[in-house]
Structure 1
Amino acid sequence: MTTAAPPGSYTAGVHDRLVRLADDLPEPVRGPVRTLIARPGKFARPRLLAACAAFGTPDPDRLVRLGAVVELAHLASLLHDDVIDEAGTRRGAPAAHAAVGTEQAMLAGLACFALVGTEAADLGEGVAGAVSAAVATLAYGELLDVERAFDTAFPLPAYLEVVRSKTAELFRLCCLLGAAEGRCGARETDALVRFGAALGVTFQILDDCLDLSPSTAGKPVGTDHALGLFGASTLYALRDDRDGRLAGLLLSPSFGVGDLPEVRALVEERGGLEAAGLLAADWHEQALDALRELPPGDPRDRLAALAASFLAGRL
């Protein structure tokens, strides 16, 4: 399969490394992985890693390999997420489970995670330890997400634990690996890691809000609500759902994507969207506070610009 590399020498290098890694996978699971690689996303996580490494003096070849590790972990999570979320499409094409079946898609995700571990181990004990801990946290977050389905009384602190584990942990890992590869000092590393974790939480809160209405981000609407996975805006609104209309609608056996306009109206009426926006703004400010602790200069400016591009159209 021919794959088109994303523009930019670094991201192109990461893409080429992903292709080579995928070629080492067994034939039955190689196809779904290579299909995802052939439709590259924004390479947000490798770019975040590289931006953090720029605070020091990283080795270019190792930086590419580290970028491939975090992107491959992301691809593995997408393969599993699509099965759990019953997503019909991914990056403008049928999701892997829709194309090759659930079992093969799940095995492809497991194969990717195994390959992540192998590549991380080859990059050194420190990388292997950080990556294995992060992957375990990702799995924990996925489990928490599945267990909370259709819980209209799900507490906001528990929701934030899901977000920190399922999404922010990989952002945090990117910053940790980047700082380590750049040989940053302890204070810089701590600030970068806190920045990544807060940025990841901000990103996911806002991304969950997109499930209520179409946006330029291209995220399908209503899929999370149909599975009973309510974001911060809906959870806030449910806390003020005195007449039970919103909960009744969300728990109705006949609930479908066609009910989303009414859900959105009820969520907005109960202040959910505004409250979620304020929550995201608070986490965004935490990310900016950590960023301000870093030395001024081009690396900090580029990291700030990269973070802004991640949240563009969401804040």
Structure 2
Amino acid sequence: MTVPMHTHAPLDLVRDRLIGLAASLPAPLRPAAHALLARSGKLLRPRLLLACSRLGAAEADQTVRAAAMVELVHVASLLHDDVIDKAASRRGGPSAHVLAGSEQAVLAGLAVFALAGMEAADLGPGVARATSQAIAAIASGELLDVERAFNTALPIEDYVALVGAKTGLLFQLGCRLGACLALAPAEQVGSVARFGQALGVSFQILDDCLEMNPDHQTGKPTQTDHTLGLFGAPTLYALHADAGGKLARLLMSPAFAPDDMIAVRALVAERGGIDAADQLAQQWHDQAMAALDTLPAGPAKDDLTDIAAALMPGS
């Protein structure tokens, strides 16, 4: 998915800022953190922040620093995710724990979280408070993710709440901070926060759908979630429609291996899981777009509309 953005120069500055911040980490932890920060991915969360900052006259340096800070939170969470998930790759390269070991990756994640906290504190108490609350909620979401492992009866509503507490919340943070730095009115801050939350949920559901496509190229780990019993929206929908229990027995088998994903994908498709998840993603995408209705016409609304459209295939 190619995400357009009209603020290319600030985005380049965000990348530069991230590399500079990585260099400030303690030397033993730099390799693990740099493995992800140097492969900056789509920078979706900074893009959202930069877009929302166009609601007013945000100060350029603060905006770039805030955008980099939000990405630091995301990278720190990925460092820990990959250790928990035992993921071998991330963003087209070896994951940090493969390169440096699990202990170094966990410590690097803590250091990056701390670095984000220092950046947030420099940006003011409001930014620091919002960032701290987001980090705490993300940690809680990670715990819920571990606790739901191998739950073949997990309600879709619980899954949505889980991804909302992780992906959705970080999208929301970027949107909220961008609007606040632009000194946007409270109702506009609320609108973009709702937009970010809904878009994040839609994005995660679509990401789960991509795992059902063996040919997808996203840079994220593949096949590890099902091995660990972490089932996304398509699989959960299929499990709820799995009257004979064939899919559940396959997923719960002690002998389940990555090669079994071929059979899993076929069963999920047969039971309508992919179509149902696509529809759910569209519903959340529609909610995101509806949240923009109250925004004034202008560059911020245009950028957010472009970003959202690029994330929804066929939109």
Q: 2:172, 2:193 within 8 Å by CA — same for their partners in 1?
A: yes
What is residue 3 of structure 1 aligned with on the other side? none
What is residue 4 of structure 1 aligned with on the other side? none
What is residue 242 of structure 2 aligned with on the other side? 241
Unaligned runs of 5+ in 1: 1-6
One-letter code aligned to 1:248: R
What is residue 223 of structure 1 aligned with on the other side? 224
Q: Residues 57-96 of structure 1: matches in 2 within 5 Å?
A: 57-96=57-96
The separation in 1 between residues aligned to 2:259 and 2:237, in whole angstroms, is 22
The separation in 1 between residues aligned to 2:307 and 2:280, in whole angstroms, is 21
User: What's the TM-score, normalizing by structure 2?
Assistant: 0.94
Deviation (angstroms), 1:241: 1.1
What is residue 256 of structure 1 aligned with on the other side? 257
The separation in 2 between residues aligned to 1:30 and 1:302, in whole angstroms, is 34
Deviation (angstroms), 1:186: 1.3
Q: Which moved more, 1:219-228 or 1:79-88?
A: 219-228
Deviation (angstroms), 1:291: 1.2
Note the alpha carbon deviations across 1:224-268, whole angstroms, 9 max, x for none. Answer: 111111011111111111111000000111112211121112112
What secondary structure is seen at the aligned counterpart in 2 of 1:21?
helix
Deviation (angstroms), 1:63: 0.5
What is residue 281 of structure 2 aligned with on the other side? 280
The separation in 2 between residues aligned to 1:166 and 1:35, in whole angstroms, is 22
Q: Which moved more, 1:14-23 or 1:245-254?
A: 14-23
One-letter code aligned to 1:138: I
What is residue 183 of structure 2 aligned with on the other side? 183
The separation in 2 between residues aligned to 1:136 and 1:293, in whole angstroms, is 30
What is residue 56 of structure 1 aligned with on the other side? 56
Q: 2:92, 2:219 within 8 Å by CA — same for their partners in 1?
A: no
CA distance change for structure 1 residues 218 and 108 in 2, over 3 Å: closer, same or farther?
Answer: closer
What is residue 28 of structure 1 aligned with on the other side? 28
CA distance change for structure 1 residues 57 and 131 in 2, over 3 Å: closer, same or farther?
Answer: same
Deviation (angstroms), 1:53: 0.9
Deviation (angstroms), 1:220: 4.3
One-letter code aligned to 1:249: L
Q: Percent identity?
A: 55
Note the alpha carbon deviations across 1:269-296, whole angstroms, 9 max, x for none. Answer: 2111111111111101100100122112
The separation in 2 between residues aligned to 1:62 and 1:168, in whole angstroms, is 23
One-letter code aligned to 2:295: L
One-letter code aligned to 2:284: W
What secondary structure is seen at the aligned counterpart in 2 of 1:54?
helix
With CA pairs under 8 Å and 6+ residues apart, which has the higher RCO, 1 or 2?
2
Q: Residues 1-315 of structure 1: matches in 2 within 5 Å?
A: 8-214=8-214, 215-312=216-313
What is residue 3 of structure 2 aligned with on the other side? none
Q: 2:156, 2:233 within 8 Å by CA — same for their partners in 1?
A: yes
Q: 1:72, 1:116 within 8 Å by CA — same for their partners in 2?
A: yes
What is residue 4 of structure 2 aligned with on the other side? none
Q: 1:210, 1:221 within 8 Å by CA — same for their partners in 2?
A: no
The separation in 2 between residues aligned to 1:306 and 1:206, in whole angstroms, is 15
The separation in 2 between residues aligned to 1:36 and 1:266, in whole angstroms, is 34
Q: Which moved more, 1:28-37 or 1:107-116?
A: 28-37
